Structure 1
Amino acid sequence: MTRQSTTAAALTVLALATLIGFVLWAPLNATTAVATVANEPVGQPVVVATPTKKTIVDWDEYSGRFAAIEDVEIRARVSGYLTEIAFTAGEIVEAGDLLFRIDPRPFAAELAAANATLASAEAAYRYAKAEMERGQQLVSQHALSSEEGERRLREAQQAEADRAAARARVAQAELDLEFTEVRAPVTGRVSDNFVSLGNLVTGGASGGTLLTTVVSLDPIYFEFTASEADYLKYRRLEQLGTRESGRDTHHPVRVKLMDESTFSHSGYLSFVDNRLDHSTGTMRGRATLANPDGLFAPGMFGRLQLLGSGEYEALIIPDTAVQTDQAQKFVWVATGDDVAERRAIELGPLVHGERIVRDGLHEDDRVIISGTQFVHDGAAIIPQYAEPVAQFTSR
């Protein structure tokens, strides 16, 4: 056999061995691959959590505005020319601080004239009284007629009345002079002057010239309205004994401003009206809050939370787990067979980022809180437990 023939035979044997090895290996490898795929879990990974049971109370929310407890219009009480403005517009003033001065000279002169009239009336009264007393003595001695005695009595009585009228005119003149100094009746923030120096202002019990306004700031009111349905709910709770009347109890309230995300300001319910507004079907309510730093200003908008129930046990879930389909709220729940199931629920309020569930869930339900965008009803899932819902207190 030649060298070339030997080489060709060796190559042929090698090729046959390779072919036989491939034929034997291929089925074995396919079986291993199928086994590997069969052992891998099938489904979409999702994160689940069970609802947390907690004893809580409800807080009902209302929109409203702050209002000053004392909102005073400062008006002129006597007529005259404005001679002094004694405050800086927008500053805090104390009760009794001088705000305006009206020219006092005409009123000082009027007071002097009234005092002079009073002095004359006092002298006339003293003379008439002395004459009356002498007349009574003479009448008793039959030295003076009874008619003359009665005349002197009438003159004394008239003099006494004139003296009283003169005293009243002095008192009025003193008041008018006092009213030329316009003072702050309450402590609060003053507006600007509505009338400038030198202008003639008109006084009087009604219709006096408006000079400025002063509003108190601390404490301050928060005014809101509640619906008839809310009013009935509160009355039913009172009848059941689970919530006391807002007229008899200062229920706590919490307030947040338009640029705040949490209800961080505390106060109490201080007033509930005695009737519903027939045109709106609502009832007025009012809360009182401390305002030592003057953060709240009358007219400012805010949101208020009012204690809306007694204590009860409720289930809470992360609000991010709640889905919306038109008007229906629902969550995805992992069944015992690790299949996604859509579950309609009835929601309560949102508290500290967690949602209260009124109906539709049980304590042992596994709620899908992450990965819901990849699931549908009946889809196979791979549940992975998240950390329990954080404990919180809604009170």
Structure 2
Amino acid sequence: MKRTSTVILLIVIVGAFATALIYLWQKNQEDPVVYQTETPSKQTIVVQTMATGSIVPKEEILIKPNISGVVEEVFIEAGEFVERGDLIAKIRVIPNVSSLTSAKNNIASNRTAFETAEINFKTQKSIYDRQKALFEKGVISANDFDQVNNSYLQAKQQVERARIDLQQARQNYDIIKTGTTSGLGNIAQTQVRATVAGMVLDVPIKEGNQVIEANNFNEGTSIASLADIKKMIFEGKVDESEVGKIKEGLPLLITVGAIENIKFDAILDYIAPKGIAENGAIQFAIKGSIKNLESTFIRAGLSANASIILDRVEDALAIREALVQYDRKTNKPFVEVAVGDQEFERRDVELGISNGIYVEVKKGITESDDIKVWNQIKGPGSFAGRN
């Protein structure tokens, strides 16, 4: 029994030894691991975030009538250029019966007041003429004549005031009835004119359409919209996760989908202080003024993308970010630099900005160093692949 146990133990030992020899022999037959290297390069690294939006005029002016009525004639079309004061449309007034009756009654009231004032003036003038003759003969005193003269002057002022009121009442009646009156000339309310120079973007009305005047209670009907197409801006939105990275004054690079191979420079000049919930996310509106549009025509409303340049460095010594390792204890970055054939040493590095692919290296390596690539490959004679 004891001999049997000894034999079994010896067999187990011999088997384990044989297995170890076989394993070591197989390991020796494997090709050695070979690490590739990369050298640093000069890169322009740009850190940016994207915003989607559209191109719109910086100032779009809506032209609205000063009187309600029906469009009698339109003198412009979208796409035309107009100067300030150019005639845009003409309105035919349809008078309001109530307003017209009130204006007519106002004329009658002012005519009565004028006639009364005129009678009083004639009476005061007769008294004045008589008293003046007596004063010149020395019959009445200067004090008595002064009182008569004051009454005469007051009556004269009253009749002039009544004449003006009557004239204004008649003009008001004419404006309510026809939209214009004598003396208005080119400023007649039936004539809608451009208030600024620019391109006509839209003419939403046609001949025969009814329009409402702009007043304190109604914004009025838009006759046309005008804008200076050389002053365009980008209007877009950024996500709440990105809004903390941007600030006014950052450069933008605008790409318009309808205009190929051209990018426009802009400056971020507005970030909304309040976000708006859209599709479950908070979006913040931004605006950027586009520069140098003299040679390119951009139509208002075109969709566009804006690259907001957060940081930028030219001719930076850079490596792929995948080559950087981090110390498990200190969390400081380092790379491994080749010092011989498949021999590497650790180099601590100081990193700059990164665009997610390349990272700037400020200190620790030179442009001639070979940096270890962690995607190892097997040696010659076997299948090459990545671990």
Q: Which amino acid aligns with 2:158?
A: Q
Secondary structure of 2:223's aligned partner: strand
8 Å Cα contact 1:85-1:100 kept in structure 2: yes
1:228-243 aligned at under 5 Å gives the runs: 232-233=244-245
SS at match of 1:305: strand
Structure 1 residue aligned with 2:270? 272
Instruction: Give the CA deviation at 1:213.
Output: 2.3
Change (3 A) 1:379 1:184: farther
Alignment partners' CA distance in 2, 1:227 and 1:200:
43
Partner of 2:191: 181
Cα deviation digits, residues 198-242 of structure 1 (max 9, x gap): 34433342343333322331111112345666565567xxxxxxx
Distance 1:318 1:44, change over 3 A: same
**Structure 1 residues 50 and 105, CA, compared in 2 at 3 Å: closer, same or farther?**
same
1:237-275 Cα deviation digits (max 9, x unpaired): xxxxxxxxx3xxx55432112367877312333x33573
Equivalent residues of 2:238, 2:286 under 8 A apart: yes
Q: Letter of the aligned partner of 1:286 in structure 2?
A: G
**% identical equivalent positions:** 20
Cα RMSD over matched residues?
5.4
TM-score, normalising length: structure 2: 0.54
Instruction: Name the residue aligned to 1:366.
Output: 371
Aligned residues of 1:50 and 1:367 also touching (Cα < 8 A): no
Q: How does 1:1-395 map to 2 (within 5 A)?
A: 49-53=38-42, 58-103=47-92, 131=125, 134=128, 141-143=142-144, 146=147, 152=152, 154-162=154-162, 165=165, 173=181, 174=184, 178-205=188-215, 206-226=218-238, 232-233=244-245, 246=248, 251-258=250-257, 264-269=263-268, 271-273=269-271, 275-277=273-275, 280=282, 282=284, 284-293=286-295, 295-309=297-311, 314-317=316-319, 337-338=341-342, 348-349=354-355, 355-357=357-359, 363=366, 364-366=369-371, 376-377=375-376, 379-380=378-379
Question: In 2, distance between residues paired with 1:367 and 1:309?
Answer: 28
Q: Secondary structure at the match of 2:306?
A: strand
Contact preservation (8 Å) 2:45, 2:353: no
Q: Partners in 2 of 1:311 and 1:133 — Cα distance?
A: 96
The 1:285/1:70 distance shift into structure 2, 3 A limit, reads closer
Maintained 8 Å contact 2:353/2:360: yes
Check 1:204–1:305 CA distance in 2 against 1; reply closer, same or farther (3 A cut): closer
The separation in 1 between residues aligned to 2:156 and 2:163, in whole angstroms, is 10
Q: Name the SS for the 1:62 alignment partner.
A: strand
- Secondary structure of the structure 2 residue equivalent to 1:185: coil
Unaligned runs of 5+ in 2: 1-30, 105-109, 176-180, 324-334, 345-350, 382-387
Find the residue that maps to 1:223 and give its secondary structure: strand
Per-residue displacement from partner, 1:168-227 (whole Å, max 9, x unpaired)? 665974289623222222333324543332344333423433333223311111123456
1:68 to partner: Cα distance: 0.9
